[in-house]
Structure 1
Amino acid sequence: MSTDFQQARIALGQRLRELRAEGGLTGRQLADRLGWTQSKVSKLETGRQTATHDDLKTWADGVGQSDAAAELSARLRAFESGTRSWRRQLAAGHKPVQDAIAAEHERSTVKRAWQNSVIVGVLQTADYARHIFNAYVGLHQSPRDVDDAVRARIRRQEILYRPGKRYHIIMWEAALRAQLCPPAVSQTTRCRSGPARSPRTDRPRAVPPVGAGLLGVRGTAVRGTAMRVGPDGWPGQAGSSGPQPTGSIEILPVPAPA
């Protein structure tokens, strides 16, 4: 699952690779110079291992750019701070976090969301949310208040049906296909959150396909101009009955590169 922490670690690794290349060294040469294994160099450069501040200073010295050590340490402190902040929020469990998010939805008239790995919270079923929270509890070692967190998340969905609320939600196709829970649960949630079909074509239009150009998209924000946005229907099963949310999805997929 992609997280801001992992994205920051990958970005730090890319910067380490740049410094090594500028120093004219291969990964093997740098590993030999520092007395490290080549696998450690590779893991640091690809974001599969978190560097320590000592690692960063050693790296900067090893590539002949000691002045870069301060910059590298500043990058590390930035995402360490973000991780600590999130863990502090989870110290009392996931339900208080869900309640805080619900308060933001209550006071907002327009909400925008992007997800590339999981189905957006306000579209999740209870079973899907339960599997997600169980995974989070294991990952963050946070209090196990899963049932309360699920109830809080599902209760937030009532806001979707209120007049005056507008939702702009973009989910990558991969978010619908990721097997984060048993297939039956995933299928039920996809039926609820999947793309609506345009009356002018049988082609799904609410979720950008895996082959779409998603340049500049990261985290929960959409940046750049790679994704064009236009009017479309609420995602759900074609021909479904019952009350429809008053909010709307406004998404037009970007064509896959030729």
Structure 2
Amino acid sequence: MSGKDRFINVTTRGNYALVSIRREPVNSMNLEMWEQLLETLTSLENDKKVRGVVFHSGLSRPVFTAGNDLQELYAPATSRERYEKFWKVSNTFLARLSNSPLVTVAAIKGACPAGGTCMSIACDYRVITTDGTMGLNEVALGISVPPKWIKLMASVIGQGKTDKLTQFAKMVKAKEALAIGLVDEVVQDEKELLERAETVMQGLLMLPDPGRQLTKNSLRGALAKEWADERWLNSEAETAWKMLSLPSTIKALEGVFARLSKAKM
């Protein structure tokens, strides 16, 4: 892959790494980005010097990630084969991240819908800027929220809150996200964000790894194993492709494209 296609940049800080995500204009997550995220996580987990990772946006605009690239979900613009690969790679990464032996921190700048929210709640700790928003809002696009994403959110904020956020595509602002436990801290701006995320990381790394890793696996191991199961991934990819191929879903996504195009004018 050529340098211009790299969306992930890694900077090491002694015993932890900063992973910057940058795909202009809004970090929409296509197949290549998910592949690079999985590649990066695997590499960091295999590096004995690295014990933690901070994920943050490398964009100048206030966006952590806008979630999945709609071109990967719009059936006429892709193929079943590509979508199945997209589904498997993205969910393999998320499952792995959710139970990674590394300490994981999400530094969330601004907008963080859908896939960005799932990636963030798969991390151990989340810091968000005051202008940040989060939510699994797939229903607003005419598609369903992936089942394991729902389970992950419910494990963090509870079934009742997850029910309302996912069914009704609700996006919450930073203050509410903190109140319901979707994030752990709110900071004023981007400059403070990364500084605070690194301070949090340094504090968490004062704990020895073995006990924390075993405890994390007790909390998340069962879901992560179920999530990464190849039979489940294949079955869910097939189910999701059928939904994306429905005329009603295609029409709903075309409506989203039209609104986005109008907003740019």
The TM-score normalised by the length of structure 2 is: 0.31
Q: Relative contact order, CA 8 A, sep 6+: which one is greater?
A: 2
The TM-score normalised by the length of structure 1 is: 0.32
Higher strand share: 2
